[in-house]
Amino acid sequence: MEAKSPKESRTTLTDLVLPSETNPLNNLFGGELLARMDRAASIAARRHSRRIVVTASVNHVAFNKAVPLGSVVTVEAAVSRAFKSSMEIFIDVWVEDRESGNRTKANEAIYTFVAVDETGAPVNVPPLAPETDLEKERYAAALRRKQLSLVLAGKMAPKDATELKALFEQ
Ligand SMILES: CC(C)(COP(=O)(O)OP(=O)(O)OC[C@H]1O[C@@H](n2cnc3c(N)ncnc32)[C@H](O)[C@@H]1OP(=O)(O)O)[C@@H](O)C(=O)NCCC(=O)NCCS
């Protein structure tokens, strides 16, 4: 299969924060943001693979900044690395200042999606060819994140997580 670039899967979802989506402090409810990120990541995974995709794991979420009621929130997702049937999706969340229009990074997350056939069995996806420095950095770190996720899920023995172990042996 021919390699694809991250920009071929890049997905941007922009939406408001409405009162029904906030917590008692009038900030965006965490579960609502997780759902928005899952939707954007799912579209990115589908654009990369052109297959049915399912969320296999939420590897990392950082709620760094609260997102107030009425904010314009942009969720940007793109495939950061493709393995055999799985794809790591990196998600950046931006909040737009009402007056200046400037965007501030509020949160980020990393999800894993798996491409499957109609019976739910994993199928192979095209490789990813990163282009920019940031895309190359995210690509390089994705293997150890995959190993960490598999170890935590009990699907890989820690002794086999060579890339992850190398991080602690530097
Ligand atoms: C995701 C799913 C297809 C994986 O099935 P599986 O039987 O574990 O299949 P495999 O062991 O062959 O794994 C398939 C791929 O997923 C990856 N994977 C599985 N679990 C993972 C995890 N927790 N973290 C990261 N990658 C994972 C494997 O490493 C493998 O990747 P590769 O093919 O690129 O090497 C299956 O668990 C599933 O259908 N889960 C439900 C998905 C769903 O409904 N999501 C919505 C939640 S409501």
pLDDT value at residue 117: 98
Which atom of ligand 1 is least distant from the CA of 125? 34
SS (H, E, C) 117-147: CCCCCECCCCCECCCCHHHHHHHHHHHHHHH
Cα of 47 from ligand 1 centre, angstroms: 18
Antiparallel, parallel or unpaired: β 52-62 and 86-96: unpaired
Cα of 98 from ligand 1 centre, angstroms: 40
pLDDT tens, residue by residue, 84-139? 999 999 999 999 988 888 999 999 999 999 999 999 999 999 999 999 999 999 99
CA–CA gap between residue 71 and residue 6 (Å, rounded): 27
Instruction: Identify the residue whose C-alpha is closest to ligand 1 atom 38.
Output: 56
Chain-centre distance of CA 9, in angstroms? 12
Instruction: Identify the residue whose C-alpha is closest to ligand 1 atom 45.
Output: 55
Q: Is 141 within 8 Å of 166 (Cβ atoms)?
A: no
CA–CA gap between residue 13 and residue 30 (Å, rounded): 17
Cα of 152 from ligand 1 centre, angstroms: 13
pTM higher than 0.85 for the full model? yes
pLDDT value at residue 166: 87
Domain ranges of the chain: 6-130
pLDDT value at residue 136: 98
- In DSSP terms, which residues pair with 77 in a beta bridge? 11, 91
- Within 13 A of 22's CA, how many CA atoms are on the CB side? 14
Please name the residue that has the structure tokens 């069995």: 121
Domain range 6-130, CATH architecture: Roll (3.10)
Q: Is 161 within 8 Å of 149 (Cβ atoms)?
A: no
> What is the mean pLDDT of the segment spanning 66-75?
95
Q: Is the pLDDT of residue 169 over 90?
A: no
Closest CA to 86 of 134, 146, 136: 146
Which atom of ligand 1 is least distant from the CA of 153? 23
pLDDT tens, residue by residue, 13-68? 999 999 999 999 999 999 999 999 999 999 999 999 999 999 999 999 988 899 99
Please name the residue that has the structure tokens 């690509």: 139
Residues having CB closer than 6 A to ligand 1 are: 54-57, 83-86, 112, 114, 116, 120, 122, 146, 149-150, 153, 155
pLDDT value at residue 160: 94
